[in-house]
Structure 1
Amino acid sequence: MQKAVFFDRDGVINRDYGYVGTLERFEFLPGVSEALAELKKLGYITILVTNQSGIARGLYTVDDFDTVTEFMQGQLDLVGAKFDGVYFCPHHPNATVAEFRCDCTCRKPKPEMFLWAQKEFDIDMEHSIMVGDHATDLQAAQAANVKTLVLVGEHITSEHKLMPQALVYENMPQFVAALKNQSISL
Structure 2
Amino acid sequence: MKNKFILLDRDGVINVEKSYLYKIEDFEYEKNVIKGLQELRDLGYKFAIITNQAGIARGYYTEDDYLKLQDFIEKDLLKNGIKIEKSYFCPHHPNVEGKYGIECSCRKPNTGNFELAINEFDIDVKNSFMIGDKITDLIPAEKLGITSILIKTGYGLKSLEELKETGLKPMVVNDILDFSEKLKNNKK
TM-score by length of 1: 0.92
Report what 2:148 is aligned to: 149
Unaligned runs of 5+ in 1: none
The DSSP-based 3-state class of the residue aligned with 2:123 is: coil
Shift of 1:121: 0.3
Q: One-letter code of the match for 2:101?
A: R
Say whether the 8 Å CA contact 1:156–1:168 is kept in structure 2.
Answer: no
Q: Deviations over 1:34-69 (max 9, x none)?
A: 211221111111110000000000001110111001
| Alpha-carbon offset, residue 24 of structure 1 | 2.2
Partner residue in 2 for 1:102: 102
* CA distance in 1 between partners of 2:163 and 2:6 (Å): 18
Greater mean alpha carbon deviation, residues 162-171 or residues 70-79: 162-171
| Residue 180 of structure 2 is aligned to residue 176 of structure 1 | yes
In 2, are the aligned partners of 1:108 and 1:140 still within 8 Å (CA)? yes
1:83 CA displacement = 1.0
Quick check: 1:34–1:79 contact (8 Å CA) kept in 2? no
In the TM superposition, what is the alpha-carbon distance from 1:90 to its structure 2 partner? Answer: 0.3
Percent of aligned positions that are identical: 38
List aligned pairs for 1:14-163, cutoff 5 A: 14-96=15-97, 98-146=98-146, 148-152=147-151, 153-163=153-163
| Deviant stretches of 4+, over 6 Å | none
Q: With CA pairs under 8 Å and 6+ residues apart, which has the higher RCO, 1 or 2?
A: 2
Q: Which letter does structure 2 place at the counterpart of 1:174? A: D
Give a deviation string over 1:147-179, Cα, whole Å, max 9, x none.
x11111143333234435111111111111111
Distance 2:127 2:41 in 1: 15
Backbone CA RMSD of aligned residues: 1.6
TM-score (norm 2): 0.91
Q: How many residues were matched structurally?
A: 182
One-letter amino acid matched to 1:58: G
- Greater Cα offset, 109-118 or 136-145: 136-145
Looking at structure 1, the residues matched to 187 and 42 of structure 2 have their Cα atoms a distance apart, in angstroms, of 17
CA distance in 2, matches of 1:158, 1:79: 30
- CA distance in structure 2 between the partners assigned to 1:95 and 1:125 by the alignment: 33
Gaps of 5+ in 2: none
* Counterpart-to-counterpart distance in 2, 1:95 and 1:38: 40
**For 2:56 and 2:62, how far apart are their aligned partners in 1?**
5
Alpha-carbon distance between aligned partners in 2 of 1:176 and 1:85, rounded to the nearest angstrom = 21
